[in-house]
């Protein structure tokens, strides 16, 4: 079946502009996660959605970052007033609530110039 | 989260077994041991997980020490496609829907 998809695959933006990154999780998966991976760095947790519960936003690095999940499915990660340090690969993952494994998408490579 | 320690890099030859070690001396009784891998330019991929007993699946085997302070991921016959960064992660059984905390991982190089 279809895996986690993300769009766009690549995004180049100018410093100060806003960007939106999209994640389509696997159908039926109630849990959705955003991570980011900066060049040469490990993966860093950003935010977690589970069903209708309040999201766990504890990993968001600043108030310029926000995310929403509409209808319990598609999620959008928004970065306002982008900075060069926001350049990274942004990865989305989904899982069923009781599953131990998370399924990752291919990521969106964001470059802020 | 309890911390894991892995070697930065390892090398193997194609079609030979690979044993990737992980130390987790501060593991708690409710921590599962998870392994993920990340191939170049791809998102991480689940490999295997276990709690106390050794585990086998189509991708790999997981050997867990009796005191659970260490574990070993075993690839029985390495292929060039197994070249990746391998992450050993602890995750509390009571928080199965929670985040994964990735460390530096082990970069596995497979030589033809």
Alpha carbons B62 and B73: distance in angstroms, whole number:
5
pLDDT band at B96 (very low <50, low <70, confident <90, very high): very low
Is the pLDDT score of A99 beyond 90?
Answer: no
Q: What pLDDT, in 10s, does the model give residues A59-97?
A: 999 999 999 998 879 999 999 999 999 999 999 999 987
Q: What pLDDT, in 10s, does the model give residues B34-72?
A: 999 999 989 999 999 999 999 999 999 999 999 999 999
Is the pLDDT score of A1 beyond 80?
Answer: no
Q: Are A5 and A104 in contact (CB under 8 A)?
A: no
Alpha carbons A109 and B19: distance in angstroms, whole number:
32
Please report residues of A whose CB lies closer than 8 A to that of B44. Answer: 43, 91, 93, 102, 104
Is the pLDDT score of B97 beyond 70?
Answer: no
Helix, strand, coil fractions of chain A, as percent rounded to 5: 5, 50, 50
Q: What angle do CA A36, B62, B93 make, to 5 degrees?
A: 60
Nearest CA in chain A to B32: A100
Alpha carbons A45 and A37: distance in angstroms, whole number:
9
Q: What pLDDT, in 10s, does the model give residues A6-65?
A: 999 999 999 999 999 999 999 989 899 999 999 877 899 999 998 888 898 999 999 999
A63 reaches B (C-beta below 8 A): no
Please report residues of B whose CB lies closer than 8 A to that of A101. Answer: 34, 46, 49
Site from B43, B45, B86 to mutate, A interface, most A CB atoms within 10 angstroms: B43
Q: What pLDDT, in 10s, does the model give residues B20-37?
A: 999 999 998 888 999 999
pLDDT band at B95 (very low <50, low <70, confident <90, very high): low
Write the DSSP assignment of B18-56 as a string of letters: EEEEEE-TT--TTEEEEEEEE-TTS--EEEEEESSS-EE
Residue A100 and residue B91: Cβ atoms within 8 Å? Answer: yes
pLDDT band at B1 (very low <50, low <70, confident <90, very high): low
Q: Are B91 and B31 in contact (CB under 8 A)?
A: yes
Is the pLDDT score of A110 beyond 70?
Answer: yes
Quick one: what percent of chain B has pLDDT higher than 90?
79
CA distances from A34 to A1, A56, A58, A85, B84 (A): 21, 11, 12, 17, 21
Alpha carbons A91 and A112: distance in angstroms, whole number:
17
């Amino acid at each position: 079946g279809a895996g986690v998809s993300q769009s766009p695959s690549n995004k180049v933006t100018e410093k100060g502009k806003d960007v939106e990154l999209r994640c389509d999780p696997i159908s039926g998966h109630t849990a959705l996660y955003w991570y980011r991976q900066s060049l040469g760095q490990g993966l860093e947790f950003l935010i977690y959605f589970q069903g209708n519960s309040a999201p766990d936003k504890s990993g968001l690095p600043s108030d310029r970052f926000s995310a929403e999940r509409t209808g319990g499915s598609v999620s959008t990660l928004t970065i306002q007033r982008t900075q060069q340090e926001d350049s990274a690969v942004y990865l989305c993952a989904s899982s069923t609530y009781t599953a131990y494994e998370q399924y990752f998408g291919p990521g969106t490579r964001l470059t802020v110039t | 989260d309890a911390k894991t320690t892995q070697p930065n890099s390892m090398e193997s030859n194609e079609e030979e077994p690979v044993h990737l070690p992980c130390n987790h001396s501060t593991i708690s009784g409710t921590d599962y041991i998870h392994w993920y891998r990340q191939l170049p330019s791809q998102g991480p991929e689940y490999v295997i997980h276990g709690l106390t007993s050794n585990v086998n699946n189509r991708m790999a085997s997981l050997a867990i020490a009796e005191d659970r302070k260490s574990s070993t991921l075993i690839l029985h016959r390495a292929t060039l496609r197994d070249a990746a960064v391998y992450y050993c992660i602890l995750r509390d059984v009571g928080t199965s829907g929670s985040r994964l905390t990735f460390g530096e991982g082990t970069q596995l190089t497979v030589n033809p």
